[in-house]
Amino acid sequence: MAAVRVPRRGPSVRGPAPPAPRAPRRVGPPRRIPRRDHVPRLPLRSRPGRAAPGRPAPPPRLRAAPLPCFNAALSLPHALALPLFRRLLAAHSPDAFSFPPLFSSAPTSPHLLALHALALRFGLAHDLFCASALLRRCLRFGLADHAHRLFDELRHRDVVVWNSMLNGFVKLGCFDRATECFRKMREEGGVEISSFTVTAILSVCTATADLRRGAAVHGLSVKSGFDKEASVCNALIDLYGKCHQVHDATMVFEGLPDTDKDLFSWNSMLSAHQYSVDHMGTMRVFARMRRTALLPDAVTVAAVLPACAQTAALQVGREVHGYIVTSGLACDGALDVFACNALADIHSGLLEEGKGFLKRMKEEFGLEPQLEHYACVTDMLGRAGRLDEARKVIEEAVDVGAGAWRTYLAACRMHGDKERAQEAARMLMMAEESGSGGWVLLANTYGWDGNFEELKEVSQ
């Protein structure tokens, strides 16, 4: 049987056949088409997963960090900020906000000078923002001449730069340079002073006891509208108090609103009365301070305790002592030697407290008693007639010096104890190897006792 051929089907009358479905599009990185010269392009900046030739790859979190993020991270300590600054240089060009944090955290002057040189290389050392931070740090390290040269190189100087120089000279104790800087600032003009300018120059007037210049600065502050600011008023109270102008200090203090008076304001006013030996005025100001919400500190205690001793304010002295113990003022190390001296100086009614405080200075407060402390407690016990205890205090000290023996001798003569007075005079003569003070007191003691033969021997 013959095979039957099946003819091929021709085009359908219904139209062309639908196209075959396309393969799914592959998702992935596009193929890189090489350049015609077949030379690969080297990346100029670090890409994810790659690094520029000769540069280490930055950490993943800092690879694409913008410049402001780097500048914010440079506020870290210098040991952490310096590696970040190296990475900043690998990715960006620093701006005026990159160097000030590094200037402020520079640990030594060589580090600071190296950063200054780098800022000069990038043309940023004379930017006002950079220059003010650099000036402050230079003066902090005592590089006054270097800071002065940089200051002279600046074409434009704003009030921040002037204040940096002024406050830096004040902290270094260069009061003449600070005064000259303030004079130039006023002569050049074009720069309005600020409250920081006033407080800085008032600090100079206070340190040099220049009342005339201080009063002129006071007038300038009134003219400029800074006389009601707390920082300026505190500086004025301190100036007038240390110059023994209690009335002027009181006028400034009373002109300051009660809501703006801080602890420094009250301490300055208390110290002003204390400098002028106005103990009753100190007690009145302290009574007003107790009605506020402010807590006293070591400066307050050092100003109030002598006034309590002089005015026989035993109850107030006990309350201050109790506050020292309960507030932890002494345990925190805030109670300085001056406050300890003032506490030990209360003679009337606080003998046991004074003795105990001298003992606890080293054991609890971590303060080594000085010769003045032993002499003060010796005087306190001697005035009360407790001569045996006063002698024990002297013996507890390794090298008490002549001051305690002189105090002990005065107490013995006050209470008519001739034998102890002669012994104290001999010990004083041994303590005072140079000078004739011990011999004179010993001769006076023999003459007071009627031992004229020994008096003649000492006089020869």
Q: What is the pTM of this model?
A: 0.59
Structure tokens belonging to residue 217: 């600065």
Residues contacting residue 249 through CB under 8 Å, at least 6 positions apart? 236, 237, 240, 241, 268, 269, 272
Q: Could you tell me the end-to-end alpha-carbon distance of the chain, in angstroms, rounded to an integer?
A: 172
| Higher per-residue confidence, 38 vs 382 | 382
- pLDDT of residue 393 exceeding 90, the answer is no
Residue 446 — pLDDT band, cuts 50, 70, 90?
low
The sign of the CA dihedral 262, 264, 265, 269 is positive
Percent of the chain predicted with pLDDT > 70: 70
For 42-52, the pLDDT digits (tens) are 233 434 434 44
- pLDDT of residue 425 exceeding 60, the answer is yes
- Tell me the H-state helices in 327-350: 337-344
For 19-32, the pLDDT digits (tens) are 555 555 555 455 55
Distance from C-alpha of 228 to C-alpha of 15, rounded to nearest angstrom: 98
What amino acid occupies position 387? L
φ and ψ of 57, to 5 deg: -70, 130
| Higher per-residue confidence, 285 vs 48 | 285
Residue entry with tokens 């039957």: 4
Among 101, 103, 113, 44, smallest CA distance to 68 is for 101
For 135-181, the pLDDT digits (tens) are 999 999 999 999 999 998 888 889 999 999 999 999 988 999 999 99
Q: Is 367 helix (H, G, I), strand (E, B) or coil?
A: coil
Residue 35 — pLDDT band, cuts 50, 70, 90?
very low
For 90-135, the pLDDT digits (tens) are 888 899 899 999 998 999 999 999 999 999 999 998 898 999 999 9
Provide the CA 360 distance to its chain's centre, in angstroms: 28
- pLDDT of residue 5 exceeding 60, the answer is no
Which CATH number is 393-460 given?
A: 1.25.40
Among 188, 199, 198, smallest CA distance to 223 is for 198
Give CA torsion, residues 260, 288, 278, 306, to 10 deg: -110
- pLDDT of residue 1 exceeding 50, the answer is no
Structure tokens belonging to residue 432: 């005072």
Distance from C-alpha of 235 to C-alpha of 212, rounded to nearest angstrom: 15
Q: Report the pLDDT value the prediction gives residue 355, as an integer from 0 to 100.
A: 73
Residues contacting residue 89 through CB under 8 Å, at least 6 positions apart? none
Residue 13 — pLDDT band, cuts 50, 70, 90?
very low
Distance from C-alpha of 408 to C-alpha of 386, rounded to nearest angstrom: 11
Residues contacting residue 352 through CB under 8 Å, at least 6 positions apart? none
Q: What number of residues does the chain have?
A: 460
